[in-house]
Structure 1
Amino acid sequence: MESPANAQWQMADPHVFWGEIAPTEHVVQIYENDESFLNVLGGFVSSGLTAGECVVLIATTPHLNALTDLLNKDGFCVAELAADDQLILLDAEQTLAQFMVNGWPEAQLFNTCVSGIIKRAKDRNRPVRAFGEMVALLWAKKEAAATVHLENLWNRFCETQAFCLFCAYPKIGFTQDVNTSAHTICCAHSKMISGEQKSATRIFYKTAV
């Protein structure tokens, strides 16, 4: 299989890309700025909601607020979706704290925490997709080993559950060329989205492992 450095970038319509994504995919974006990140995240969320899926967002407060504004402007009623549990909004710091022990993600606590979230998401027999920003919080604290461990916990959990998982990291947290310093991060995922998205009308992606 191609390495992240050698894989070829492909272009797709965001609605097609997110609409056809397999429920077992683990997708990552290492983004240049919040605009490019929110363009991609907005497509991920809106495609799921339009398809009748439950969307779980575990994100920072600024990103939750920005996405809420974006969805409302696009004609979604966030308050109604949240009340119906079709859109589950969770604070990343608070969720992360539920399973961190001495600066390390504890596997049993993680499984208990995430199992509860996914059970709630599946309660009305909807397909589920989830976005998680907890790994980015650990990475920002220079906790590389804990970040990779958390990614692996997600991967093991997803092996027993059928949902697409998307996570994202700001490029500013990487001190070298992304394909070098982020190699371990990329290899924990099935697809990588370009961090230089300039519009919401197209998406560039490639095989990440």
Structure 2
Amino acid sequence: MGTRQPAKPSSSLPVFWGEMSPCDHVVQIYKDYAELIDGLESFVVDGFQRGEAVIVIVTQSHLAALEKRLMRHGLPLQDFKDRDQFIVLDAEEALKVFMKDNWPDEQRFEAMIRDILGRAHANGAHRVRAFGEMVALLWAQGHVAATIRLELLWRRICDREMLCLYCAYPRIGFTGDASESMREICEAHTRVFPQPA
């Protein structure tokens, strides 16, 4: 396996999403709630505009905010959901599917993701992008090693399935320099945005 290129910062979201390759594994370190929802909204809308299937694994509060934003675009969300172009999972419930003794069970995780990707591809979507918030929940609970393990499992899936994955962590969850305290997490990704000041 070749040496992974270091994560690169970006500041212009519309351009950033358009530059992503099919197997990019992107992480956002966000300052506040609005910054997260802005990023998630543009990520999902860009996917729909490109005819991709979009998977979001989010908390209920973030899903409510996201769907309110998406409705403003006049998107037929229910139609997208009915044909599995927009697949939504609750992040806390998804963790329960594959976590065992506070550690990701690889086989259970792989089975869950295979099922979701199968649904996304079933109606002809050639490309799939996903947003996952499970890692941020694990990190917030203090399960640092489990978080890194889950990121690495995701990374393997991104490479194998040509899946573009976007993760996000709140900046407030880290002490000192965020990029340093998240060094291992950042190294599991192909890109980081925005780079912390």
Scaled by the length of structure 2, what TM-score is found? 0.92
Percent of aligned pairs with the same amino acid:
43
CA displacement, residues 10-47 of structure 1 (integer Å, 9 cap, x when unaligned): 443x3332123100100000100010111111110000
1:125 deviates by 2.1
1:120 aligns with 2:119: yes
| 1:141 equivalenced with 2:141 (yes/no) | yes
SS in 2 for 1:169: strand
Return the structure number with greater helix share: 2
Aligned length: 192
Following superposition of structure 1 onto structure 2, how do residues 1-209 of structure 1 map, counting pairs within 5 Å? 9-12=9-12, 14-126=13-125, 127-194=127-194
Residues 46, 3 of structure 1: alpha-carbon distance in 2 compared, 3 angstrom cutoff: closer
Q: Pick closer, same or farther for the CA change 1:10–1:99 going to 2, 3 Å.
A: closer
1:88-121 per-position Cα deviation (integer Å, ceiling 9, x unaligned) = 1110011111000011001111101111111111
Judge which range, 26-35 or 151-160, deviates more: 151-160
Q: CA deviation at 1:186?
A: 0.5
Q: Is the 8 A contact 1:57 1:90 kept in 2?
A: yes
Within 1, Cα distance between the matches of 2:184 and 2:124?
35
Map Cα deviations across residues 104-160 of structure 1 (whole Å, 9 max, x no partner).
001111101111111111111211000000000000001100000000011112221
RMSD: 1.7
- Residues 38-72 of structure 1 deviation map (CA, whole Å, 9 limit, x = unaligned): 11111100000011110000000001111000000
Gaps of 5+ in 1: 197-209
Runs of 4+ in 1 over 2 A off after TM superposition: 1-4, 9-12, 14-17
Specify whether residues 63 and 10 from structure 1 end up closer, same or farther in structure 2 by C-alpha distance, changes over 3 A only. Answer: closer
> Secondary structure at 1:98's aligned position in 2?
helix
Task: Identify if the C-alpha distance between structure 1 residues 190 and 139 changes in structure 2 by more than 3 Å, giving closer, same or farther.
Answer: same
Partner Cα distance (1:3, 1:149) in 2: 19
Tell me how far apart the structure 2 counterparts of residues 53 and 78 of structure 1 sit (CA, whole Å).
14
Query: 2: CA distance between counterparts of 1:148 and 1:94?
Result: 19
TM-score between both structures, scaled by the size of structure 1: 0.87
